[in-house]
Every structure is written in C-alpha cells, then in structure tokens.
Structure 1
Amino acid sequence: MKQFEVYRNIRKGAVIFGLPISSFALMMICVVASLLIIIFSFSLWIIIGAFIFNSILYVVLIRITRKSQLFLVSVKFPDIISNKRKSNLNYEQD
C-alpha cells in the first residue's frame, strides 16, 4: 500500500510546471499566441521559431522564479497601523 506524506508547505504558493500562477499564465498566453501565428501563417520556419521562442521563454521564467530576490521590489509592511491623522495641531489644553 502506498504512503503519502502530508503537504505542509501550502503557504509557499501554487506551482504549475515549476512556475508560479502568474508566470504560468504568461507562458500560456505566449503559447496560444504562437499557435495563432502558426495557424494563420503556416510555414516550417515559423513553427520552428515559435517552438524555440516558447522554449527560451520557459527557461527564462524558470530562472527568474529560482532567483526571485533579483526582482524583489515589495514594500515593507508598516510596524504601526493607525487611523489618526498626522497633524501638528495640538488640541489639548495646557
């Protein structure tokens, strides 16, 4: 009987073919665009070019996801969250 281990890393994000969802969506858009180009201009060189382009795009997206620190531009979440307005007016009595 097979034993399956519990998947505990659910918070790391969904991955399809080694790519996050957004990169996979970009890859699928390029594949569909390549198919449309192949259908409307049927040529051997275009088929080969589309295959090479999609392969290179896949390799580049895999490398970008592996080295994600290069493109990390997220802003740090603030330490304090407050609804008070930032004003220099003092409403207290002395």
Structure 2
Amino acid sequence: MESPHDEGLVQQYAGMVAALAVKAEQGRVVDTELVEVIGQAREHFDVCATSNASANTMALKGKMKIAAQTTDESQPRTAQVFLDAVRLLS
C-alpha cells in the first residue's frame, strides 16, 4: 500500500538543501548543485514504490517554504536557497 509521502526520504533531501544553504551563506554559489539535488529528489520520488511522488514533492516544497520563512533576516542567502528550491519544485 502506497503511503501519502515518505517523511524520511523527504527529510533526506531537505537536509541536502539545508547543507547547500549553509554553503551559500558562506559565499559559495550553489545554483548548479541545487538544481542537481532537486533533480535527484524528483527522480527518487518517481521511482519510490512505497509513497506517492506528488505527495513527496509537496512535502519537500512545504518544508522549503517553512525553512525560508523561518530563516533569520540576517541570513538572506540561506533563505534564497530555500526559495529557489521551492521554485524548482513548482
């Protein structure tokens, strides 16, 4: 039976995006890496037999929106990575 989304799988990719956000805050350009991570997430979500790909995508998108909204204003690059992830997941 397929569950709505796989929290562990979603959390795995949320952590990867968060790691890129830290790099961005340190001044690194992570655009290409972010596109790759989101692409990997989409591919992984598509082949996951135990959960719904669309539900996984929506769950990750939701986590990225919350992360962007709760990032301190002193870390604009961090927030931008999360917002870029939301855009790529749309």
TM-score (structure 1 length as normaliser): 0.43
By percentage of residues, which structure has more helix? Answer: 2
By percentage of residues, which structure has more strand? Answer: 1
TM-score (structure 2 length as normaliser): 0.44
The structure whose RCO (Cα within 8 Å, separation 6+) is larger is: 2
